[in-house]
Amino acid sequence: MQVLELGDPRRMGDFTLIGRLGVGGMGQVFLGRSAGGRAAAVKVVKAELAEVPEFRARFRQEVAALHRVGGEWTAPVLGADTEAVAPWVATEYVPGPSLQQVVESGYGPLPEATVHALAGRLARALRAIHGAGLVHRDLKPSNILLTVDGPRIIDFGIARALDTVAGSLRTSTGVVLGSPGFMSPEQVRGQRVTPAADMFSLGSVLVYAATGRLPFGSPELGLHALMFRIAEEEPDLTGVPQTLTGLVAACLAKDPQRRPTAEQLAVHTGTDTDGPWLPAELLAELGRLAARMLTAETPPQGSPTPTRSTRRRWPALATAVALAAVATGTVLALHDDGEKDPATGGAPAAVSNSASPSAEPGVPDEFVGAWEGVVEGDSDLPKRVLRLEISPGTTGDKAAAYIDTDGDAQCTGRSKLLSADADTLVVGKGQVTARVPQGSCTPLSEQTLKVRSRDVLVWKSGGLTADFYRSAGGRDAVPDQYVGTWVPANETYREKELIRIAQGPIGGRLVRMSVTAGMDDGTEQYCDSTFVIGAVSPVLALSPAMYTAQSGKGCRQPDSVFLTVGRDGHLLLYSMAADAEPAEYVRKS
C-alpha cells in the first residue's frame, strides 16, 4: 500500500480513504474504512471515462447488477455513487494474497486437493456472477484472493462497462479488456463474449494453479504468438494431475458451446477437503503473520502510513495481513476452520500468549517455528521423515501443521493443541488435509514435544521417539547444496537420467526427474515426474513420484524418495521402492 498523494480524495461517501492499493483500467483503487471500521477497496473512475455518457450509463447498470450477486466466494459491494463527478464503487476488502502472489512469489504450484477445492469454489462464485447477468471478462490469478476459508473473486462485472467506449479509449493507458494469458478465443478474435469466456479463463487459471505456468505459453514469448496459440492450438496440460485434466480440457474447448457452464461445473466438483483447503505451510504462515500483527498500531486517521513487512518470507502475505490491520483498526487471528468468536461480534477470536487469570494456555515461544526429524531409520538410511510447523495459539487451536513423508506416501495434516507449559507441548491426533498419492493416509497419533535445548525438541508419538531440530522455511527453504541439475555418477547412464532441484518453499513441487530406459524389444521408454518436498533437514524428503509424461506403462515408483549430499558432494538417492544401495549422482557440468 502507498500513502495518499496530493490531490487524492480523502473521502468517498461513507468511506475514509487511508491509502492507495493500485491502479486499474477504470481508475485508482484506494483502501477505505467505513464509519463502523469495515475495510473496503474503493475504486474511483478515471476523469476521461466519467465524462463519457455511454460509460456512465453502463457503469450504473453494472453497479446495480453487482449488488445482486451476493456470491459466497465473491467480494460484495458495500457502497457506490454512480452519479458523482467522480463515480465510485466500494467492495469488501479481502485480507489475503492473490493466487498470483502465492504461486509466483510464495508457495509455488498448489497441491492437487487444493486445486480441486479451488475449482469447485470458483465455479460457485462464477455461478453467482453469471446468475446476476454479469460476465467477469478478466478472471485471472491476480483477481483471485486466497483466504483461510476459501478463495474470493474480485473486480467482476465492471469490465463490461468499458465496452461502450472501447472504440475511442481502447488504446488509452491502462484500459485493458482482458489479460492476454487468460483470455478466451472469442476475446482474442474480438467476437461476442458470453459467460463461456469466463469458463475458458477458469481452465487457464486451474492450469496455472496446478503447474505455475500458462497453458498456451508466456506473454514474454510474444503477444501475437500467444493469442494465435489461444485461438488455434491445443493447450499444454503437462503437469496437470490426471484427476483434473478432463475438467480443465473441457473448460479450454475452443467452441464456447462445448464448455461446461458454471452451474454444470459446480454440480460436478466439490468444495470440501478432509481438512483446511490450503496447504499446511501456507496456513501456518498466515497464522504466524496474523499473530505477529496483534501488536500493530493503527495510524492516526488522516495520516496514512505505508505498511511494510518486517520479515523476508512471504512478503505478499505480510502485506495483505498488514493492510487488513490498518483498514479495520484491529488485527484478527486467522482460523483455518473459519470458527467465529461470539464475544467479538462474529469476528475470529484473536490469538495471544499474554498471561491473564482467564486466558487459555498458549504455545510458548520456544516451540514456535519449523522442526524436522527422522522418526524411522536414521540420516544415513532414512525411512520416515516428519516436519512440524508450530504456530502461536491457545488450547483448541490447530497450532501444529505437519508433513509426514513415509515409505509409501506423503501425508499433510494439522493437529489441535491439547496442552502447553514452559517445556512440554501436547497436540492431538492429526487431521489429514492432503496426500500423495491419492488414497488413504493414517493421521498422526497424539504427539508430545519436550524442550531439550533452544534448537532441539524430543518428539514422541505412537511408540516412536526422535530428536527434532529447527528447520528453514519460506521461499528459500531448500539448502543450496541440493539446488541444481544432477546426473548419474555412472557415466553409462548419464544420458538416460536427469534430476533437477529448484529453490522454493516446503510443500512445493520443486524436484523433477526424467528417466529414459531401454526395453527388451529394443524400444525406449521415458518417465517424467515431479516430487513434493516434505522436509529439508537432515535429509531432503520427497513424496512418491507424480508422473507428468510417460510412454508405456512401466513408470511405477510407488514409494517416497530421500536425498542427502555426501562429503564428496555427490547426491545420494534412497528409494524405499528399491531394496538396494543408494543411487549416486553428480552435478551436471
Helices 315-328 and 280-292 sit at what angle, rounded to 10 degrees?
40
Which set of grid coordinates corresponds to residue 466?
526422535
Asked whether 4 and 19 are in contact (CB, 8 A), the reply is yes
What pLDDT score does 315 carry? Answer: 39
Question: How far is the C-alpha of 85 from the C-alpha of 391, rounded, in Å?
Answer: 48
Query: Does the structure show a pLDDT above 90 at 579?
Result: no
**Which 3-state string (H, E, C) describes 546-578?**
EEEEECCCCCCCCCCEEEEECCCCCEEEEECCC
Which of 73-87, 151-165, 191-205, 360-374 ranks highest by mean pLDDT?
191-205
| CB 479 within 8 Å of CB 503 | no
Q: What are the distances in angstroms from CA 538 to CA 390, 394, 475? A: 19, 30, 18
Lowest mean pLDDT among 10-19, 269-278, 320-329, 548-557: 320-329
Work out the angle between the directed axes of helices 195-211 and 112-131 (0-180°, nearest 10).
Answer: 160
564-583: b (≥16 Cβ within 10 Å) or e? beeeeeebbbbbbeeeeebb
Q: How far apart are the first and last CA of the chain?
A: 44
- Whether the per-residue pLDDT at 216 is higher than 80: the answer is yes
**267: how many CB neighbours lie within 10 A of its CB?**
12
Lowest mean pLDDT among 34-48, 129-143, 316-330, 335-349: 335-349
With a cut of 80, say whether residue 20 has pLDDT above it. yes
One-letter amino acid identity for 573?
A: L
pLDDT at 351: 32
Identity of residue 142: S
Residue percentage of the chain with pLDDT more than 70: 75
Q: What is the mean pLDDT of residues 159-188?
A: 58
H helical segments located in 132-261: 159-162, 166-169, 185-189, 195-211, 223-232, 242-251
pLDDT at 557: 59
> pLDDT of 56-114, one tens digit each?
888 887 787 777 776 567 778 888 998 988 899 998 887 778 899 888 866 788 888 88
Higher pLDDT, 451 or 407: 451
For residue 576 the three cell numbers come to 524405499
Please give the Cα distance from 445 to 431 (Å, whole number).
10
pLDDT of residue 549: 67
Is pLDDT larger for residue 107 or for residue 578? 107
pLDDT of residue 353: 36
Q: What is the pLDDT of residue 55?
A: 84
Taking a C-beta distance cutoff of 8 angstroms, is the pair 294, 331 a contact?
Answer: yes
Write the single-letter amino acid at 176. V
The span from the CA of 78 to the CA of 85, in Å, is 19
275-310 per-position pLDDT tens digit: 678 877 777 665 554 444 333 333 444 444 434 333
pTM, whole model, 2 decimals?
0.51
Residues labelled as active-site residues: 138
Give the pLDDT of residue 288: 55
Q: What is the pLDDT of residue 106?
A: 63
Hey, which residues does 530 pair with through a beta bridge?
Answer: 512, 546
Mean pLDDT is lowest, of 1-10, 232-241, 331-340, 424-433, for 331-340
Could you write out the DSSP letters of every residue in 45-92? Answer: E-HHHHT-HHHHHHHHHHHHHHHHH--TTB--EEEEESSSSS-EEEEE
DSSP state of 257: G
Closest CA to 81 of 59, 100, 98, 96: 59
Model confidence at 517: pLDDT above 90? no
Confidence of residue 580 (pLDDT cuts 50, 70, 90): low
Which DSSP letter does residue 2 get? B
Mean pLDDT of 550-569: 78
**Cβ proximity of 537 and 468 under 8 Å:** no
Model confidence over 464-492: pLDDT tens digits?
A: 999 999 998 777 889 999 999 999 998 88
Residue 198, SS3 per DSSP: helix
Alpha carbon distances (Å) from 557 to 409, 545, 554, 586: 11, 6, 9, 22
pLDDT winner (highest mean) among 214-218, 297-301, 514-518: 214-218
- Of 20-29, 267-276, 355-364, minimum mean pLDDT range: 355-364
User: What's the pLDDT at 75?
Assistant: 77
Query: Can you tell me the mean pLDDT for 353-363?
Result: 50
Concatenate the DSSP letters of all residues of 425-489 into one string: EEE---EEEEEESSS--PPP--EEEEEEETTEEEEEETTEEEEEEE---GGG-S-TTT-EEEEES
- pLDDT for 249 equals 93
Cα 205 to Cα 115: distance, rounded to the nearest angstrom: 10
Residue 264 phi, psi (nearest 5): -65, -40
Residue 578: pLDDT band by 50, 70, 90 thresholds? low
Is the pLDDT at 554 greater than 80? The verdict is no
Alpha helices in 94-157 (DSSP H): 99-105, 112-131
Domains of the chain: 95-268 (1.10.510.10), 369-474 (2.40.128), 476-587 (2.40.128)
What pLDDT band is residue 330 in, cutting at 50, 70 and 90?
very low
